[in-house]
Amino acid sequence: MNTVFNRATLTASAAALAITAVAAPALAQRDPAYEAARASGKVGEKTDGYLGIAGAVDAGTRKVVDDINIKRRALYASKAQAANATLEEYAMTAGCLAIARTAPGEKYQAPDGSWQTRTSAPPIRDPRCP
Amino acid sequence: MNAGKLTNRAFLSHKVPMRKAGAVLMAMLGSATAAGCISVNAPDKPIVIELNINIKQEVIYRLAPGAQNTIEENSSIF
């Protein structure tokens, strides 16, 4: 009896997990305007953990970038406080990782401040990056 | 035959810059005396200290695992 119950519970939790796995990527998807701006190289990842404008953009794209940067800053601030770090430390760490996960064709900022296009090779990052 | 000329010129090249240096020194002294004082102005722009250079690698390594999770959990803004 107990075994049957356990099996049922397991099946239920497996089903719940499957649903979460399907639902999560849908929630986490980028806004199409943001995705397009990244793919076209108008918007890139900066070394400080925020998005930057790397090409000529319209006011709409600028707004998208500003909104995301405000959200990122709020996120960094709360996570930094929880980790006993400063906002800049946390933001720079996130910047290292965000540059590392850029896709080929997307823009990122090199340590010298120049905009680079990501290739299949590893990006040029600050030597302190993990 | 040329040796004599060369020696003479070597002497000149050695001697003339010394005189020039003397003239420059005199000119500097003269202008300093004329100006009377040296003025030092404060910069008109604020002094910006780049905070990023103070961030240590060990801090970044400590924060990296958590930051990786943060990015994955909030991938719509990354």
Contacts of A116 (CB under 8 A, 6+ apart): A107, A108, A109, A110, A123, A124
Which structural domain range is residue A89 located in?
31-130
**Which residues in chain A are closer than 8 Å to B63, comparing Cβ atoms?**
83, 85, 89-90, 93
Q: Please give the pLDDT value at position A43.
A: 97
Same domain for A26 and A55? Answer: no
The reply to whether A68 touches chain B by the CB within 8 Å rule is: yes
ipTM score of the complex? 0.75
Q: What pTM was computed for the model? A: 0.63
Beta-carbon separation of B71 and A85 below 8 A:
no
Beta-carbon separation of B67 and A90 below 8 A:
yes
Nearest-by-CA chain B residue for A71: B77
Q: Report the gap between the CA of A99 and the closest CA in chain B (Å).
A: 10
pLDDT digits (tens, 9 = 90+) for A24-82: 444 568 999 999 999 999 999 999 999 999 988 999 999 999 999 999 999 999 999 99
Same domain for A65 and A107? Answer: yes
Better-predicted residue by pLDDT, A118 or A12: A118
Count the domains in chain A: 2
DSSP letters spanning A53-74? E-S---HHHHHHHHHHHHHHHH
The CA distance from B37 to A34, in Å, is 59
Same domain for A54 and A80? Answer: yes
Q: Please give the pLDDT value at position A17.
A: 45
Beta-carbon separation of A79 and B75 below 8 A:
no
Same domain for A64 and A8? Answer: no
The reply to whether A35 touches chain B by the CB within 8 Å rule is: no
Span of A63-67, A122-126, B19-23, B67-71 with lowest mean pLDDT: B19-23
Better-predicted residue by pLDDT, B5 or A102: A102
The reply to whether B64 touches chain A by the CB within 8 Å rule is: yes
**Which residues in chain B are closer than 8 Å to A83, comparing Cβ atoms?**
62-63, 66
pLDDT digits (tens, 9 = 90+) for A5-38: 555 554 554 444 444 444 444 456 899 999 999 9
Distance of alpha carbon B21 from the chain centroid: 25
pLDDT digits (tens, 9 = 90+) for B17-63: 555 555 555 555 555 455 578 888 887 877 765 556 778 899 999 99
* Domains of chain B, residue spans: 2-36+50-77
Q: Please give the pLDDT value at position B17.
A: 54
